[in-house]
Amino acid sequence: MDMIIVWALSWWYGAGWKAQLKRFLERLDSSYDYFSIGLLLRSLFAPFRQISAGKVRGPINIQIRAFADRLISRFIGAFVRLILIVVGAAWLGILAIGGVIYALLWLVVPVLPLVGFIFMTAGWVPTWE
């Protein structure tokens, strides 16, 4: 039985903890891919959905109008992308903090009964009044 506990604890603080970290990093990577922040940054000023993006030939007034349209399309694109970059960055931040907390909690799980025993001995319980 002793050996079983030793094996369990050595896995918990060794390969088990590493596996949790790996899973956390995968989740972070997957979220990064979902928000595609790198792609958003690279294409920040690209016309949104190619609306009014094509080349226009013709008199100067039409070309000026096309330039203005393209500018608006690029502006809308940059605006939408920036919003998503902010939302994505916030989400990744929350995820990272959550991951760190989880990794730390993981380390204290085996000693939780000891913590529980101390609380019981102290006799403290939350009151609801």
Partner 1 sequence: MGVSFNYGAHRAAKARVGKFIGKTGHLLMISLAIVLAFGGIVLIVLANPVGWLVASLAAWPAMFAKWYVGELSDISAEASETAIEASLSSGVLAHLSKQPSPHDIAAAIGQTNEGAFYGARFGLTANFLLQIASNEQSDTAEIWQTAMDVKDELNLEHLSAGTLVYALVKQLPDHDALLAHNHMELDDIKRGIEWQEHIKQLIKHHSKPRRTGGVARDWSFGYTPLLSRFGQNISQQIAAGGLLSVDLESHADALDQLVDTFSTSGRQNSVLVGATGVGKTTIVHAFAERLLDASSKLPANLKFRQVVMLDSSSLISAAPGRGQLEDLIMQVFSEAYAAKNIILCLDDAQLFFEEGVGSVDLSNVLLPIIEAGRLRMILTMDDQRYLQISQRNSALVNALNRINIAPAGKAETIKVLQDKLILTEFSRKVTYTYQSVDEAYRLSERYVHDLAMPGRALKLLESAASYNENGLVTMNSVQQAIEQTMNVKVSVAAESDDREKLLNLEELIHKRMINQDRAVSVVSDALRRARAGVRNPNRPIGTFLFLGPTGVGKTELSKALADVYFGGEDRMIRLDLNEYVRSEDVTRLIADGADDPTSLTAQAMKQPFSVVLLDEIEKAHPSVLTTLLQLLDEGILRDIKNREVSFRDAIIIATSNAGAERIREYIDRGYKLDQFEEEFTNELINSGQFRPEFLNRFDEMVVFTPLEKADLLKVVDLIIAGVNKTLALQKVSVEVDEDAKKLLVEKGYDPRLGARPMRRVIQRVVENNVAKAILSGIVKPGSAITITASQVEETMGKAEKAQAIEQEAS
Q: Which residues bind partner 1 (CB under 8 A)?
A: 3-4, 7-8, 11-12, 15-16, 19, 26-27, 29-30, 33-36, 39-40, 43, 46-51, 53-54, 77, 80-81, 84, 109-110, 112-117, 119-128
Cβ neighbours for 118, distance < 8 A, ≥ 6 positions apart: none
Nearest CB to partner 1, comparing residues 32 and 65:
32
Nearest CB to partner 1, comparing residues 89 and 114:
114
Nearest CB to partner 1, comparing residues 60 and 123:
123
Cα–Cα distance measured from residue 18 to residue 100, given in angstroms and rounded to the nearest whole number: 13
Quote the least distance from Cβ 59 to partner 1, whole Å: 22
For residue 14, the SS3 value is coil
Backbone angles phi, psi at 93, to 5 degrees: -65, -45
Cα–Cα distance measured from residue 46 to residue 50, given in angstroms and rounded to the nearest whole number: 8
Nearest CB to partner 1, comparing residues 60 and 104:
104
> Which amino acid, 76?
I
Quote the least distance from Cβ 14 to partner 1, whole Å: 10
Residue 19 is encoded by which pair of tokens?
Answer: 């596996």
